Amino acid sequence: MIVILKQKIEQEKIIKLTEELEAQGVKVNPVIGTEISILGLVGDTSRIDPSKIEANTIVEKVMHVQEPFKKANRMFHPDDTIVDVNGAKIGGNKIAMIAGPCSVESEIQITEIAKDVKEIGANFLRGGAFKPRTSPYAFQGLKYDGLNLLKVAREKTGLPIVTEIMSPYDIEVFNENVDVIQVGARNMQNFDLLKELGKINKPILLKRGLSATLEELLMSAEYIMAGGNENVILCERGIRTFETYTRNTLDLSAIPALKKLSHLPVVVDPSHATGKYWMVAPLAKAAVAIGADGLIIEVHNDPAHALCDGPQSIKPSKYEKLFEELKVIANAVGREI
Amino acid sequence: MIVILKQKIEQEKIIKLTEELEAQGVKVNPVIGTEISILGLVGDTSRIDPSKIEANTIVEKVMHVQEPFKKANRMFHPDDTIVDVNGAKIGGNKIAMIAGPCSVESEIQITEIAKDVKEIGANFLRGGAFKPRTSPYAFQGLKYDGLNLLKVAREKTGLPIVTEIMSPYDIEVFNENVDVIQVGARNMQNFDLLKELGKINKPILLKRGLSATLEELLMSAEYIMAGGNENVILCERGIRTFETYTRNTLDLSAIPALKKLSHLPVVVDPSHATGKYWMVAPLAKAAVAIGADGLIIEVHNDPAHALCDGPQSIKPSKYEKLFEELKVIANAVGREI
Amino acid sequence: MIVILKQKIEQEKIIKLTEELEAQGVKVNPVIGTEISILGLVGDTSRIDPSKIEANTIVEKVMHVQEPFKKANRMFHPDDTIVDVNGAKIGGNKIAMIAGPCSVESEIQITEIAKDVKEIGANFLRGGAFKPRTSPYAFQGLKYDGLNLLKVAREKTGLPIVTEIMSPYDIEVFNENVDVIQVGARNMQNFDLLKELGKINKPILLKRGLSATLEELLMSAEYIMAGGNENVILCERGIRTFETYTRNTLDLSAIPALKKLSHLPVVVDPSHATGKYWMVAPLAKAAVAIGADGLIIEVHNDPAHALCDGPQSIKPSKYEKLFEELKVIANAVGREI
Amino acid sequence: MIVILKQKIEQEKIIKLTEELEAQGVKVNPVIGTEISILGLVGDTSRIDPSKIEANTIVEKVMHVQEPFKKANRMFHPDDTIVDVNGAKIGGNKIAMIAGPCSVESEIQITEIAKDVKEIGANFLRGGAFKPRTSPYAFQGLKYDGLNLLKVAREKTGLPIVTEIMSPYDIEVFNENVDVIQVGARNMQNFDLLKELGKINKPILLKRGLSATLEELLMSAEYIMAGGNENVILCERGIRTFETYTRNTLDLSAIPALKKLSHLPVVVDPSHATGKYWMVAPLAKAAVAIGADGLIIEVHNDPAHALCDGPQSIKPSKYEKLFEELKVIANAVGREI
């Protein structure tokens, strides 16, 4: 951590600040220049709150040079984490293929789609039971009935189920019934929910918030991991920018960046990123080429009558074609699907 | 709602879509052009999900021309809403002055600051007991002890208390002990929390999310209001942009915009917007000049040792000076403080 | 074009506006609802200025449903444009590989790099002679001497040269000496420069501005094409967002979007997008997978002593390895390099 | 300047880098930690290119702690600059009121508006002769005829004229005929134009680019000042963000920020920022309250038939009312209009 001091500060004030900082267990190395002076802090700075130092009247600003996350940090955990979901893996050489409808609508709908994507080769089933919708008047999901239908689909296909949680009230029922618990973009900094999820052992798929930096995403993962649950899967799903042609802007450079900063697996959701079905295939290919560890793709057997997100869903026939194309690209980058 | 059709669509497909739409209770007026054809939907379109129409293969895109919020909409409620907080008002001619520390730290700290800001003229006390922090290793607030200290400060000053809720688990205790419940920027789309807050009658101060559009902010207000709680106060606190000199970019044009779109009161938080204490005064003045109904300002008696957000806190003496300056500006725009 | 009217407008005012609009050569179809009324404009609306209609007091807002660009529009030119550069092609099945240093530094530097990338397989040489730098104190390029050195390198390798123009004063000398004229991101809306470039016949590589929408990029292409020069190549090079880990955010979804909206070839610059050499290879692979028609990559034989943009430059040996990997991905998507 | 080194770097490589840096005339102070090591550079670092250091393989990143601008920097020029425009001032206690139509349309239009705003109290006339338009098919301004009409209006009212330049070709004619030369947002980083403007002595009104940081705006001012022309006026006119309700987001916190970083005067353009006439008055009030040195407001006598930007223009009668309101606010903050 580096503390930039204001100009023309008296020596004794610098000494006082130095003592305060060293009392917190770090070593302070001063660099005194003619115009700018800095204090270099060396040691374990993770417990030091930079904003507290910045509030000091002799301080111009504080820059941290070390990432503030520990458990999620590749520096302290060089090997890739592979998350085990009842034997199925996310992370490692094989790319996880997660597919299914935006929301669970009926037994026939979810089991049909589950069978279709299973046959094509998907290894996880996604489907929303609790739906975060911008409007209170929009369809909010089948809730607990939806969870039960997902279980029926799992039983018929063997596919582990991935579904979104919206409230800490539901953690117990999710922990018992679901294979991967998804935290949606809007809840990425719902810290109370994250803390609760840190207390269980279930794999958590953590989506990046619409305006979250990579560091904030990793700090949210750190919340879960600091609680004791290290089974975290990161998910890039598009960020909010000025461009409105696509619903969000898929930040594919986040994949190599996250994999450099962290050992956690990173999956990509090309469906939510753009909101356009015809963009799913090209973005999915790019995601595999750039090194994603998995893909979450919305597949629906009747997009025009889907209860939500029809415009971004593709039909099973299209998913099948895409699946074959992705295999070739995976091979080209030394991975398999 | 306007449905833009793709080019060269057969007549019969347009008729089929028209019938499907009219079955949902709206009237469809077609405008058929040589290159572009559209369907104009007239009637109550608030229950129609545009993304469902957009998933139809003959549809290019859907534009909504009417705001999707009802209860928060000034169109259906032309008069300004004034929220009553045990007799103190937010909205109306008098500007609400909410002040206090980022977080409650001790009895002496919160009661001292409360007395100071009360004496200066503030009519609400703010102070965080539950703190949403990016890092799990940062101070998370005194929690229930903090709430109790806020109550002590209220007893000693008579100031109603405004504090942030982070979990639906705490609604009961907040409803009993707090005067205004704040929903932070990171929870603006924590829809489960919003729904629960719609079931009580307590005033809710709803902060705009870092990347939330004005329409999304109003839709989140709508969640609370649709549940039955119409005591909602909106709060602009800065949005995330590419500019990093300030922590966020305070979007002051949001104030006239929100007041045009909605009847709800709008307050401004200049402290969180920039993260810099020396910007609080100029931004507060601008907020009053532009028509804000209130100001939330962080005041701390020892910013350099504040447990959080010291760099953006101002001392009581500075708050007093600002208070006097704001009175003059309020007068200049026909308001009072 | 769709004109949304304000509420409760008198019939006669609507008739007056309708007449004004029809006098401009379009047909107006009214859709009158209980709460919202709209006018649908049918015909050639490209010469109608929506902001003029919006200034009318009875108009709420104007939405355009048709793209405002004509010559760049795929609707009127369904086949892909292939730009011919003295026999070398950009567009079509073969992916154009453009490589070279950020700036030309010396004869030995540019000729060595040109030979290296030529041998590896690149088919265009890039190199800046005129450099747009944020600081007036930074190296501004070798200017005309740089152009001469590029010509020497072209003579020795046969590679056509791509270099940036910054001033209309230089069009004549660029037209005579250069093979592809690059317009940088900062000049994407330097309309006077674009107009001048529309008068010559030289291929123009037009980079997307840091905060330009896809529509604005295509409108800038339209400026050049409207002047008579249809040899335009579009370039995605990253947009400015809130994320600061990478210098910009490469918007790869722009590639399928631009190829749907327009017939012009689209190339990608992964070097400028992130500013980090270790991200060039993964982003280049993703760009090929998603369908880019070419790649501009900064290659330098001594990045640590490059006069600019060293951190994003890769060495020839690394470019060679990447080149081989890209061939495999190109094959996987039915293209060749 | 601070150089963060990669982990576990051999001593000799650090020594080599230190020597290279000191050869460039700065002193290097090393801070060697267990996990992170840094080099603190002290002295005149303005000629050192951080990206060149960053390209070194032992360097993680470079942070600059001192602003890279010199002539625009308040640190080296503590007093406010007041720009003199033939006796009229921009900067200082009196707020400059610049008003007029988006574009010059006819002699009667520009002279009528000029008389109106002069009578109301404006001290500068604005009006576009050369118009930067997104579409090549939109009205591009009356060009040299427009300049002549501005001169007629100046003759009749005595108001100095402010108008935009788009090409270096026109500098001579602008220098002879115009009082303040405006550089539009789209040309803020048209460095060749800036360099040419540095060679004359005419006041330059430099608008912030749509996605320009404050530092970049000041670096563009530095381009002009480094050339010898220190008569630069900065202008905040809205930045591009995700919010689309307003055309841009007026960043009013930029005013106190720029005035802290620089001694140059700062004016605000509330008309272009939002594109909505009914927002001009509230934003103008906020701009005065926050400390702007001037306001550029679009005034048109017939907005509905204006040749451009009608939706954001206000009528003279409305400008008159606003003018009176602004006087009161100016007084409230110790300024005058």
Q: Do A215 and C245 touch (CB under 8 A)?
A: yes
- D310-335: b (≥16 Cβ within 10 Å) or e: bbbbbbbebbbebbebbbbbbebbeb
Residues B216 and B267 in one domain: yes
Q: Do A66 and D42 touch (CB under 8 A)?
A: no
In a domain, B36, yes or no: yes
CA distances from D93 to D66, D81, D335 (A): 29, 11, 5
Residues A95 and A201 in one domain: yes
Q: Do D192 and C166 touch (CB under 8 A)?
A: yes
In CATH, what number is assigned to the domain containing residue A290? 3.20.20.70
Residues A250 and A274 in one domain: yes
The pLDDT value recorded for residue C32 is 75
Percent of chain C with pLDDT over 70: 99
pLDDT band at B34 (very low <50, low <70, confident <90, very high): low
Neighbours of chain A (3+ CB pairs under 8 A): B, C, D
Per-residue model confidence as pLDDT tens digits over D113-159 = 999 999 999 999 999 999 999 999 888 999 999 999 999 999 999 99
Residues C185 and C312 in one domain: yes
- Which residues in chain A touch residue B247, judged by CB atoms under 8 angstroms apart? none
Mean pLDDT of A285-291: 98
Give the domain-ending residue among A63, A82, A105.
Answer: A63
pLDDT band at C123 (very low <50, low <70, confident <90, very high): very high
Nearest-by-Cβ selection for C40 from B34, B40, B244 = B40
The pLDDT value recorded for residue A8 is 80
- Which residues in chain D touch residue A65, judged by CB atoms under 8 angstroms apart? 2, 4, 36, 38, 60, 63
- Which residues in chain C touch residue B34, judged by CB atoms under 8 angstroms apart? 42-43
Per-residue model confidence as pLDDT tens digits over D210-230 = 999 999 999 999 999 999 999
- Which residues in chain D touch residue A66, judged by CB atoms under 8 angstroms apart? 35-36
pLDDT surpassing 90 at residue B43: no
In a domain, A190, yes or no: yes
Per-residue model confidence as pLDDT tens digits over C14-28 = 999 999 999 988 888
Give the whole-angstrom CA distance, residue D65 versus residue A320. 54
pLDDT surpassing 70 at residue C114: yes
Residues B135 and B210 in one domain: yes
Residues 6+ apart with CB under 8 A from C189: C209, C212, C216, C220, D132, D134, D186
Higher pLDDT, B152 or B39: B152
pLDDT surpassing 80 at residue D35: no
pLDDT band at B200 (very low <50, low <70, confident <90, very high): very high
In a domain, B69, yes or no: no
The pLDDT value recorded for residue D69 is 93
Residue to substitute from B192, B215, B223, B300, interface A, most A β-carbons within 10 A:
B192
Q: How do beta strands B204-207 and B232-236 pair?
A: parallel
In chain D, the residue whose alpha carbon lies closest to the alpha carbon of A62 is: D65
Give the whole-angstrom CA distance, residue B182 versus residue B203. 9
Residues D38 and D57 in one domain: yes
Nearest-neighbour CA in chain D from B295: distance (Å):
14
Give the whole-angstrom CA distance, residue B23 versus residue D267. 55
Nearest-neighbour CA in chain D from B325: distance (Å):
8
| Pair B295, B120: CB distance under 8 Å | no
Per-residue model confidence as pLDDT tens digits over A83-134 = 999 999 999 999 999 999 999 999 999 999 999 999 999 999 999 999 999 9
Mean pLDDT of D15-36: 83
The pLDDT value recorded for residue A9 is 84
The pLDDT value recorded for residue B64 is 77
Per-residue model confidence as pLDDT tens digits over C161-179 = 999 999 999 999 999 999 9
Torsion, Cα B109 B114 B119 B121, to 10 degrees, reads 140
In chain C, the residue whose alpha carbon lies closest to the alpha carbon of A213 is: C243
In a domain, B242, yes or no: yes
Per-residue model confidence as pLDDT tens digits over C147-161 = 999 999 999 999 999
Nearest-by-Cβ selection for A311 from B51, B167, B226 = B51
Residues D101 and D16 in one domain: no
DSSP B214-241: HHHHHHHHHHHHHTT---EEEEE--B--
In a domain, A337, yes or no: no
Per-residue model confidence as pLDDT tens digits over D174-189 = 999 999 999 999 999 9
CA proximity to C251, closest of B146, D189, A238, A174? A238
Q: Do C243 and A250 touch (CB under 8 A)?
A: no
Per-residue model confidence as pLDDT tens digits over D258-278 = 999 999 999 999 999 989 999
Q: Do B290 and D291 touch (CB under 8 A)?
A: no
Residues B249 and B149 in one domain: yes
Q: Decide: helix, strand or coil at residue B298.
A: strand
Count of CB atoms situated within 10 Å of the CB of A204: 24
Nearest-neighbour CA in chain A from C289: distance (Å):
5
The pLDDT value recorded for residue C35 is 63
What phi and psi, each to the nearest 5 degrees, are found at residue C318? -70, -35
What mean pLDDT, rounded, does chain D reach? 93
Residue to substitute from A44, A69, A186, interface B, most B β-carbons within 10 A:
A186
CA proximity to C147, closest of C166, C173, C115? C173
Residue to substitute from C237, C242, C244, C252, interface A, most A β-carbons within 10 A:
C252
Q: Do C309 and D189 touch (CB under 8 A)?
A: no
CA proximity to A192, closest of D262, B184, B216, D84? B184
Neighbours of chain D (3+ CB pairs under 8 A): A, B, C
Quote ipTM for the complex: 0.93
Residue to substitute from B208, B253, B331, interface D, most D β-carbons within 10 A:
B253
Residue to substitute from C63, C65, C66, C241, interface B, most B β-carbons within 10 A:
C65
pLDDT surpassing 80 at residue D33: no
CA proximity to B126, closest of B308, B295, B274? B295
Report the Cα B247 to chain-centroid distance in Å.
18
Mean pLDDT of C115-144: 96
- Which tokens go with B298? 């962080």
Give the whole-angstrom CA distance, residue A261 versus residue A264. 9
Residue to substitute from D27, D242, D247, D249, interface A, most A β-carbons within 10 A:
D242
The pLDDT value recorded for residue D34 is 65
In chain B, the residue whose alpha carbon lies closest to the alpha carbon of A305 is: B52
CA distances from C184 to B326, C206, C207, D216, D242 (A): 46, 7, 5, 16, 24
- Which residues in chain A touch residue D36, judged by CB atoms under 8 angstroms apart? 42, 65-66
Q: Which amino acid is at B167?
A: S
In a domain, D68, yes or no: no
The pLDDT value recorded for residue C203 is 98
Per-residue model confidence as pLDDT tens digits over C244-300 = 999 999 999 999 999 999 999 999 999 999 899 999 999 999 999 999 999 999 999
Give the whole-angstrom CA distance, residue A269 versus residue A205. 11
pLDDT surpassing 70 at residue A35: no
- Which tokens go with A37? 């002076």
What phi and psi, each to the nearest 5 degrees, are found at residue C244? -110, 0
DSSP A65-82: -S-S-STTBGGG--SPP-
Look at A63-77, A235-249, D93-107 and tell me which has the smallest mean pLDDT. Answer: A63-77
pLDDT surpassing 80 at residue C65: no
Per-residue model confidence as pLDDT tens digits over D159-169 = 999 999 999 99
Give the whole-angstrom CA distance, residue D207 versus residue D188. 7
Give the whole-angstrom CA distance, residue B304 versus residue B290. 32
Nearest-by-Cβ selection for B31 from C40, C66, C211 = C40
In chain C, the residue whose alpha carbon lies closest to the alpha carbon of B245 is: C242
- Which residues in chain B touch residue D249, judged by CB atoms under 8 angstroms apart? 239, 241, 249, 251, 253
| Pair B239, B249: CB distance under 8 Å | yes
Give the whole-angstrom CA distance, residue D155 versus residue D149. 10
Q: Do B2 and C29 touch (CB under 8 A)?
A: no
The pLDDT value recorded for residue D248 is 97
Give the whole-angstrom CA distance, residue C89 versus residue C86. 8
In a domain, A161, yes or no: yes
In C, what residues contact A, Cβ < 8 A? 211, 213-215, 239, 241-246, 249-257, 260, 273-274, 278-279, 282-283, 285-291, 325, 328-329, 331-333
DSSP C30-85: EEE-SS-EEEEEES--TTS-HHHHHTSTTEEEEE--S-S-STTBGGG--SPP-EEE
Q: Do B31 and C31 touch (CB under 8 A)?
A: yes
Q: Map C252-276 to HEC letters.
A: CCHHHHHHHHECCCEEECHHHHHCC
In chain C, the residue whose alpha carbon lies closest to the alpha carbon of D225 is: C136
Torsion, Cα D209 D213 D215 D221, to 10 degrees, reads 10
CA distances from A204 to A143, A172, A193, A216, B49 (A): 19, 14, 12, 16, 30
**For residue B28, what are the domain limits?**
2-63
The pLDDT value recorded for residue A158 is 98
In CATH, what number is assigned to the domain containing residue A13? 3.30.70.1140
- Which tokens go with C46? 């490209």
Mean pLDDT of C40-59: 82
Give the whole-angstrom CA distance, residue D176 versus residue C106. 41
Nearest-by-Cβ selection for B34 from C29, C33, C42 = C42
pLDDT band at A323 (very low <50, low <70, confident <90, very high): very high
Residues A146 and A278 in one domain: yes
Nearest-by-Cβ selection for C241 from A249, A283, A331 = A249
DSSP B188-206: TT-HHHHHHHTTS-S-EEE
Q: Do A256 and C243 touch (CB under 8 A)?
A: no
- Which residues in chain D touch residue B260, judged by CB atoms under 8 angstroms apart? 278
pLDDT surpassing 70 at residue B35: no
Count of CB atoms situated within 10 Å of the CB of A201: 11
Nearest-by-Cβ selection for D186 from C68, C189, C306 = C189
E strands in C193-310:
204-207, 232-236, 266-268, 294-298
CA proximity to D169, closest of C128, C131, C177, C170? C170
The pLDDT value recorded for residue B136 is 93
Look at B273-277, D94-98, D206-210 and tell me which has the smallest mean pLDDT. Answer: B273-277
- D291-301: b (≥16 Cβ within 10 Å) or e: bbbbbbbbbbb
Q: Do B54 and A311 touch (CB under 8 A)?
A: yes
**Residue ranges of the alpha helices (H) in B73-163?**
107-120, 144-157
The pLDDT value recorded for residue B63 is 81
Instruction: Say how many domains are in chain A.
Output: 2
Give the whole-angstrom CA distance, residue B132 versus residue A183. 17
pLDDT surpassing 80 at residue D19: yes
Higher pLDDT, B332 or C43: B332
| Pair D67, D73: CB distance under 8 Å | yes
Per-residue model confidence as pLDDT tens digits over C318-332 = 999 999 999 999 999
pLDDT surpassing 90 at residue B42: no
Q: Do B168 and A166 touch (CB under 8 A)?
A: no
* Side-chain half-sphere exposure of A197, counting CA atoms within 13 A: 34
Residues C52 and C88 in one domain: no
Q: Do C283 and A290 touch (CB under 8 A)?
A: yes
In chain D, the residue whose alpha carbon lies closest to the alpha carbon of C312 is: D55
Residues C50 and C82 in one domain: no
What mean pLDDT, rounded, does chain A reach? 93
Residue to substitute from C8, C34, C35, interface B, most B β-carbons within 10 A:
C35
- Which tokens go with C278? 């270790």
Per-residue model confidence as pLDDT tens digits over C279-295 = 999 999 999 999 999 99
- Which tokens go with B52? 């469902």
Count of CB atoms situated within 10 Å of the CB of B278: 14
∠D191-D193-D195 over CA atoms, to 5°? 70
* Side-chain half-sphere exposure of C41, counting CA atoms within 13 A: 27
Percent of chain A with pLDDT over 90: 76
Q: Map chain D to HEC letters.
A: CEEEECCCCCHHHHHHHHHHHHCCCCEEEEEECCCCEEEEEECCCCCCCHHHHHCCCCEEEEECCCCCCCCCEHHHCCCCCCEEECCEEECCCECEEEEECCECCCHHHHHHHHHHHHHHCCCEEECECCCCCCCCCCCCCCCHHHHHHHHHHHHHHCCCEEEEECCHHHHHHHHHHCCEEEECHHHCCCHHHHHHHCCCCCCEEEECCCCCCHHHHHHHHHHHHHCCCCCEEEEECCECCCCCCCCCECCCCHHHHHHHHECCCEEECHHHHHCCHHHHHHHHHHHHHHCCCEEEEEECCCHHHCCCCHHHCECHHHHHHHHHHHHHHHHHCCCEC
Per-residue model confidence as pLDDT tens digits over D275-306 = 999 999 999 999 999 999 999 999 999 888 88
pLDDT band at C34 (very low <50, low <70, confident <90, very high): low
Nearest-neighbour CA in chain B from C217: distance (Å):
20
Nearest-by-Cβ selection for B42 from C33, C43, C75 = C33
Residues A26 and A164 in one domain: no
Structure letter (DSSP) for residue B314? B
In a domain, D274, yes or no: yes
